[in-house]
Amino acid sequence: MAKIVLIGAGSHTFSKHLITDVISYPELRDSTICLMDIAQEPLDLIAAFANKIMKQNKYNTKIEATTDRKAALDGADYVLTTIKVGQRTPVQDPSPTAFHGIELGRGDTINAGGVFYGARHVPAMLDICIDMEKLCPDAWLMNYTNPMAIITWAINDYTKIKTVGLCHSVQSTATNLAKYMGVPANEVSYWVAGINHMAWFLELKWKGEDAYPLLRKKLEDPAVYSAADAHWAGPDVVRAEVMKAFGYFVTESSMHMSIYVPYFQKRPELMEKYLLNRKVVRPKYEEADKELRDKISGDFKFPTAHSGEYGSTIIRSLETGIPFRINANVMNKGLITNLPDGCCVEVPCLVDKEGINPCYVGDLPAQLAALNRSNISVQELAVRGLMEKDKTKIFQSILLDPLTSAVCTIDETRQLVDEMFKAEKKYTRGYK
């Protein structure tokens, strides 16, 4: 049966979900799940969780754990990456740098934070791909690590590995939209395409009929989207405003979307207006570790319901031929015809025994393509700058960033980039 390797297994959120998802499918319960992390303590904890849930359910799934990446990858059929280079901290790392009260160093996808997050993660991901080319060249790489588009673009351009980038924003947003409309989530269908964290619900249907009129009607009441619990990340005002302005609902949270465009974070008073100062309180890693450790040592019965993440579902379809449609990040080979060829796009894909097959989308509505292209320009220059270790291209990529350019002058952006290089010097050696 399949050998499934999880690199970055010390991650609580993804590892617990992905392990549980695999065993939720009877067809995958004879697999080997190999957990790999460079940090022994979190690796041991997740391995203990995996062994406990197998024992509770009397499954024969083989669990391996190692800090040796080459040993883990040897003979792998599927590799899932959830790595975080540096330390176990929230995504605000790398260190933020503020101008005019706006912290433009934050984030893990775009602006200075996203580009320098790429400086940490692209080399590590390419090292994994180099090992895969030697040890498991036919394996599928499914990446969950950000910056998703930058990493996927680099892997496609600089390695031979089969890869897709996976994110849960499409399916989680569909659930949110059902909540806003007041309808069962299992009655909602959709067709979504664009780029990661900025894909668009081009079609939204309830019981087969266009649901956008209902959604627009519901969003006339600000209480629907401005409550503290509207979305797991807090109030969802930005996405409601984007839909009202551009006609379509976007896939990522309001906090993320506000970073990708120039309209919401460029002045402190706008942060307050759009409820972007609300912070999501997450448990500290130490607290989460203790909670999981206590559950493992006690009588807690771990649930085996599927989380909705795509990784295990892709493996099941590839192994059994049972078809399934996902949304994944892939190279744009004529899929979205008004976005640049070769960039990274997030599109519907059909998965079966023959592979992961991206679907043709055609032109996006012009206004949506324009918003996507504003981010793609940053991603393209970031990929070239990271691969060539070229400080000028890194600087130019951030000059093109929509939010940064709305807040900073050229000189201020240069200062921002210089400060980020200093803050991230451990990960930017050799740049010229």
* DSSP per residue, 243-310: HHHHSS-BSS-HHHHHHHSSSSSSSHHHHHHTT---------HHHHHHHHHHHHHTT----------S
The answer to whether 331 and 156 have CB atoms below 8 angstroms apart is: yes
Instruction: Name, in order, each residue with C-beta under 8 angstroms of 418's C-beta and a sequence gap of 6 or more.
Output: none
Map residue 351 onto helix, strand or coil. strand
Length of the chain: 432
Distances (CA, A) of 176 to 185, 191, 214, 397: 8, 15, 14, 33
Distances (CA, A) of 269 to 266, 276, 277, 311: 9, 10, 10, 40
Q: Which amino acid is at 271?
A: M
DSSP assignment, residue 406? H
User: What Rg do the C-alpha atoms of the chain give, in angstroms?
Assistant: 21
Q: How far apart are CA 243 and CA 245, in angstroms?
A: 5
Could you say which of 12, 100, 121, 168 is catalytic? Answer: 168
Percentages helix, strand, coil for the chain, rounded to the nearest 5? 45, 20, 35
Q: Is 335 exposed, middle or buried (0-12, 13-18, 19+ CB in 10 A)?
A: buried
Place of tokens 């997050």: 117
The answer to whether 8 and 65 have CB atoms below 8 angstroms apart is: no
Map residue 212 onto helix, strand or coil. helix
* DSSP per residue, 114-136: HHHHHHHHHHHHHHHHHHHHHH-
Is 100 assigned a catalytic role?
A: no
The answer to whether 125 and 93 have CB atoms below 8 angstroms apart is: no
For the annotated catalytic residues, the residue numbers are: 168
